[in-house]
Every structure is written in structure tokens, then in C-alpha cells.
Amino acid sequence: MSHFDRIVVGAHYGLKDWLAQRITAVVMALYSMFMGAALLSGVHGQDGWRALMSHGFVRFFTFLFIVSLCWHAWIGVRDIWMDYVKPAGIRLALHSLTAIALVGYAGWAIQVIWRL
Amino acid sequence: MPELARKRPKFLNLFAIRLPLAGYASIFHRVSGIGLFLMLPLLIWLLDRSLSTPEAYAQFQAVFDCWLVKLVLLGLLWSFLHHFCMGIRILLLDVHVGIDKLSAHNSAIAVMAVSLLLTAILGAKLLGIY
């Protein structure tokens, strides 16, 4: 296999991505349990909900969650494209759309919590 | 590099595979992940409406009360819970906990059971049953 045959949309960073998927998963799992506990302890109406989400620590943790979610989704969705989509052109297009969408979602979601 | 050039055995025909239970748990992990990814715009929109002005909150409540949205959210609730439980199973397998055949089978059953049970409990709340 010469360098000419190399698939441009292959996963070049196997271990790094594998590890990032795990670390982001742990961040999201911790955040989910934290938010689950916070919601169970009682949040009343929009004021209570806004107060919870605008708390300094919660906002920091939510930011980490959003970044983790988008990074994690990028690796997972890219893996699915690589399993089922063989033509390099279509795969490149799907990878690009996925990455662009996730960067946009991250910006949107961060703006939602940061303007509070 | 003959190793790289060699054709590796791959079999990904979803309609012809007979999977053990752990295989179904694994496929559901993938399906739930793609579902959550596709519905991210809806979830971020709901978050945005719920945290904005009182008018936006009323809009959030109106959309949240729509039965079709509730149905989608119920599906996403299961997706999240399955992905969460299966994720913990995968992390444990990564550090070689429960890696023998019987334990791995049992933990796959546990993932399915716990995520469905939690979906029933929290889903009933979502649908306003209690």
C-alpha cells in the first residue's frame, strides 16, 4: 500500500480518539448524575431552572458537558460513517457535515447557557 | 506492507446477522447514539426556550405538551438511558471488569433491564402519569 492509496477519511488517530471518547463519556456521566440529583432535589418553575443553570459551577460544568458531548458525538458518528459508507467522496462530505453541525451546535448551546 | 493490504474478515450485513444479547445491546448503543445526535437541534432549542424570556418559556411548555414531541422525548429518554448504562458497561470492560463470557452476558442483560426500567419510571413522569 503506497501513500497514494491512503484513504483520506480514515481514522488516523485511533488511540487518541478512543481515549477522548472515554474521557468525554466520564465527564458526561458525572454531569448527568449531578444534574439528575439537582433536578430531583426540586426545581420550581422557570425562575428555579434559570437560577440553577446560571450558578457559576453549574455553568462551568454545563460548558464541559457541551464540549464533551460534541467531541464524543463526532467520534461516534464518524465511526458509523466509516463502517457503512465506503465511497471516499460521500464519506468526506458526511464527515464534513457532521463536524460542521457539531461545531455549530456547540456554539449555539454554549451561547444559551452563557447569556444567562 | 502486506498486513495492511490483506483483506480482513468483515461482516456488517445487519439483516443477516444473528446476534447474542450483548450484540443487541451494542447495536442499540449505536442506534441510541445516532438518535440523540439527530435530535440535538430539538434538545438545544428546548434548552434555549426554557432558559430565555417568560414568553419563550411558555413556547417551551406548549411544544413540550405536544404528544408528538413527548413521544420523541420518550424515545430520546430511552436512548440516553441505554447509552448511559451501556457506556458504563463499556468503561468497565475497558478496565477488564466482567470480561469473561458469563459476566459480559449478564451485564448486557442488566444494561437492557435497568435502562428499560428507568425509562418506564422517568417516562411515566414525562407523560404526566404521576
pLDDT higher for B1 or A25? Answer: A25
- Residue range B19-40: average pLDDT? 95
pLDDT for res A15: 82
> What's the one-letter identity of residue A58?
V
Coarse DSSP helix, strand, coil percentages of chain B, rounded to the nearest 5 percent: 75, 0, 25
Residue range A15-114 in CATH 1.20.1300.10: yes
Coarse DSSP helix, strand, coil percentages of chain A, rounded to the nearest 5 percent: 85, 0, 15
- Residue range B34-59: average pLDDT? 97
Which pLDDT band holds residue B1 (cuts at 50, 70, 90)?
very low
Q: Please say whether the dihedral angle defined by the alpha carbons of residues A51, A54, A55 and A59, taken in this order, is positive or negative.
A: positive
pLDDT for res A5: 61
Residue of A74, A51, A61, A2 lying closest to A26 (CA atoms):
A61
Q: Does B50 touch chain A (CB under 8 A)?
A: yes
Yes or no: say if A105 and A70 are a contact pair by the CB < 8 Å rule. yes
Q: Where are the domains of chain B?
A: 34-65, 66-130
Place of cell 503506497: A2
- Residue range A24-32: average pLDDT? 98
pLDDT tens per residue across span B57-88: 999 999 999 999 999 999 999 999 999 999 99
3-state secondary structure of B70: helix
pLDDT for res A13: 58
pLDDT for res B71: 97
In 10 A of CB B45, how many CB atoms? 15
A29: pLDDT strictly greater than 60:
yes
Q: Does B12 touch chain A (CB under 8 A)?
A: yes
Interface mutation target, options A112, A115, A116, chain B, most CBs of B under 10 Å = A112
pLDDT for res A3: 53
Yes or no: say if A82 and A91 are a contact pair by the CB < 8 Å rule. yes
Alpha helices in chain B (DSSP H): 2-5, 21-38, 40-51, 54-64, 67-94, 101-126
pLDDT tens per residue across span A46-94: 999 999 999 999 999 999 999 999 999 999 999 999 999 999 999 999 9
A108: pLDDT strictly greater than 70:
yes
Spatial separation of the C-alpha atoms in residues B74 and B63, rounded to whole Å: 14
Interface mutation target, options B3, B34, B37, B119, chain A, most CBs of A under 10 Å = B37
Residues of A with a Cβ under 8 Å from any B Cβ are: 1, 22, 25-26, 29, 32, 46, 49-50, 53, 73, 76-77, 80, 83-84, 105, 108-109, 112-113, 116
pTM for the full predicted model = 0.88
pLDDT for res A42: 86
Q: Closest to A112 (Cβ–Cβ): which among B12, B33, B47? A: B47
Which pLDDT band holds residue B39 (cuts at 50, 70, 90)?
very high
